[in-house]
Amino acid sequence: MGHAADGILLTDKGPGETSYGVVKKVKTLFRGSDPVKVGHAGTLDPFATGLLIILLGQGTKLSQFIMSAEKVYLATVELGVETDTLDPTGKVLRTSHVPDLRPEYIRESVDRFVGKIRQVPPAYSAIRHKGTRAYKLARSGQGVDLKAREVTIYSLNILSVNLPQITMRIRCSSGTYIRSLAVDFGRDLGPGGHLQSLRRLKSGPFDVEDALPSSEITDKAREGLLSKKVLTIRDALLDMGEVVINATLAEKVRHGYQPVWEELIVGPKRQTGIHSGLNDGWIKLVSNSKLVAIMKVNLEDEVSRVKTKIERVFSA
């Protein structure tokens, strides 16, 4: 059966906290009640702040869909100092003089980082390298040779220049390491640098302005959280198109049935094709206003050949 806390909770993580620490605080809200599974969609480093999406109950099944959304960050790069962790928590490796860089020159350099770029993830990251978290290898003094990967920077706007610090707003694809971007940007300018501060402003359709400060997650807040702050698993996927199905088909899907597209789209809707409302090939199946399943849809041609597969099923 579904749990009253199934869904997601938007939190604003404070400085110095770990993402897991926020998860633990949320778990304490359910002491003495039915066990509730709690996770998060996308780690924030302890020095960073901002939007951390907490997954509750069946909301933990949404991780891959929420984490794949684009992100928006507010970041400050400090030029002239490079650290081993690429952020202010690390050991200083190199310092250099920061020249009086013209704002026009800085903005020209920024333009080179917009679009599809390749970046090497930080050695101090949670990526697995030969079966072990990279940060564990780095902390033990072992070399970590991580491969470059392609990410997309949709926009990068300079907000202020107060050398040696440069503050910018970044909209990027999932999987982008802002620490690596800051270091590459600093080296492109000449003196090098590190990511001095970071705040996640948005993840997909969700905004930190709507989030609950993590400092306010207390036992006294439990009732208010459940009634006002937790978004249902259906509402957690605002950008994903949906198809309404009848109760009979919903029950079959919950018991493992894999419907074909023709069972979902009937009447006039069937003639319009499936392009409208799709988000990266995923759709929600909804019955009686509740999320039943998430389905993967693949077009084999423009009109008639549609392959479908149920990827996640949710109890009533």
SS3 track for the chain: CCCCCCEEEEEEECCCCCHHHHHHHHHHHHCCCCCCCEEECCCCCCCCEEEEEEEEHHHHHHHHHHHCCCEEEEEEEEECEEECCCCCCCCEEEECCCCCCCHHHHHHHHHCCCEEEEECCCCCCCCEECCEEHHHHHHCCCCCCCCCEEEEEEEEEEEEEECCEEEEEEEECCCCCHHHHHHHHHHHHCCCEEEEEEEEEEECCEEHHHCEEHHHCCHHHHHHHHHHHCECCCHHHCCCEEEECCHHHHHHHHCCCCCCHHHHCCHHHHHHCCCCCCECCEEEEEECCEEEEEEEEEECCCCCCEEEEEEEECCC
Catalytic residue chosen out of the listed positions 6, 12, 45, 184: 45
Residue of 9, 46, 42 lying closest to 172 (CA atoms): 42
And the tokens for 247? 């109760």
Is 45 among the residues known to form the active site? yes
At residue 137, φ and ψ (nearest 5 deg) are -65, -45
Residues belonging to the active site: 45
